[in-house]
Copies of this chain bind each other. A is one copy, B any other.
Amino acid sequence: MTDLSNIENYSCPLPLQDYPKIVLGHGGGGKLSSELVEHLFLPAFRNEHLECLGDSTILNLGNRRLAFSTDSFVVRPLFFPGGNIGDLAVYGTVNDLAMSGAKPLYLSAGFIIEEGFSMESLTAIAASMAQAAAQAGVQIVTGDTKVVDKGHGDGCYINTSGIGVVPEGLSIAPDQARPGDKVIVSGTIGDHGMAIMSVREGLDFEAVIESDTAPLHGLVEAMLESSREIHVLRDPTRGGVASALNEIAEKSGVGIELDETQLPVKVPVQSACELLGLDPLFVANEGKLLAIVDEHDANRLVRAMQQHPQGRQACVIGTITEAHTTMVVAKTEIGGKRVVTMQIGEQLPRIC
């Protein structure tokens, strides 16, 4: 068992050299993505809204606080077990808005379609988006379509941007975690990433692994009815639970201790991960959330979540600590501890 007392000022041993060119990892939601944002986009666009770097940004407009968020979707394949790029694009932005506690209201949809893409597939994607929007209680109110030459796209890329309204008195943000808080996950992890991987790699398991793509605003609403002591919400998409928790640890200036034995992982997902040498902690989810909540409200919240279809398997998986600031440390099944770093680049490219 490693003594962790000396890792307080541990830093990533891999030098993040300057990249003269974009690599896939810059879109992977790991350390390279962060680097690109922090060293290229942030200095260029700097303003107080952008610096929050949450899933969505909060804007004061008139007598309302609005959440505003954007996400582009380049998932391959476009259709996968449990969903397609259309519902993924709707739920993705709905969830980004919900992670600030906002009620999602309106979406835009921007399509970049490759010449030769079948109208039938596009119709199916639009139908899924419509169904997902209805499911999430949002309207797609404005849109745009561009077509690029054959060979210069991948069938269809979709951007969705969204607007939601934040209830008064809430201040849920990645920098609000406090020592003592509990970390809750809303259900099994790794489903989306492994669903994509299994079709992409043509893996055949006994049970089909389905994406968990789903809207989370309803679950958040139920949670807020049960407690207002929710400090951080995050949907662990690209980069998985590990990246999301690392970002929270850094933004809040706290440590996070994770109990690996508590992590809910479906058996087929676990098997697929083992086969491919992947860690479920780093695999993308599209219908799960992490909540950092006051320790006194944690059990009540878990019970409330378990009453909701999106939170049946909710459980506490960790604690916020004063120790090992900005780091995530996992207690392993064999009783050891390991540092869960943010990945450099891409474990699974083009996952959303």
Using CB atoms and an 8 Å cutoff, list the residues of chain A in contact with chain B: 18-28, 33, 36-37, 40-41, 44-45, 47, 49-50, 56-57, 59, 61-64, 66, 68-74, 105-106, 108-120, 122-123, 126-127, 129-130, 133, 139-149, 151-154, 157, 159, 161, 163, 165, 349-350
Say whether A59 contacts B106, CB under 8 Å: yes
Instruction: Report the bound CA distance from A113 to B27 in whole Å.
Output: 8
Of chain B, the residue at the smallest CB distance from A114 is B22
Instruction: Report the bound CA distance from A149 to B28 in whole Å.
Output: 12
Instruction: Report the bound CA distance from A119 to B18 in whole Å.
Output: 9
Of chain B, the residue at the smallest CB distance from A152 is B154
Closest-CB distance, A297 to chain B (whole angstroms): 29
Count of this chain's copies in the oligomeric assembly:
2
Say whether B59 contacts A163, CB under 8 Å: yes
Instruction: Report the bound CA distance from A22 to B120 in whole Å.
Output: 10
A23-B115, A70-B159 known; 14 other A-B pairs, CB under 8 Å?
Answer: A20-B119, A20-B120, A22-B114, A22-B118, A33-B145, A41-B126, A41-B145, A44-B129, A47-B140, A63-B64, A68-B141, A72-B144, A110-B161, A146-B350
Given contact pairs A147-B23, A148-B154, A350-B148, A141 touches B57 in the complex (Cβ within 8 A): yes
Given contact pairs A40-B122, A118-B20, A140 touches B70 in the complex (Cβ within 8 A): no
What would be 15 A-B contacts, judged by CB atoms less than 8 Å apart?
A20-B119, A23-B147, A24-B115, A24-B147, A27-B148, A28-B147, A41-B143, A44-B129, A45-B126, A62-B165, A66-B163, A70-B108, A71-B144, A112-B157, A146-B350
Of chain B, the residue at the smallest CB distance from A32 is B147
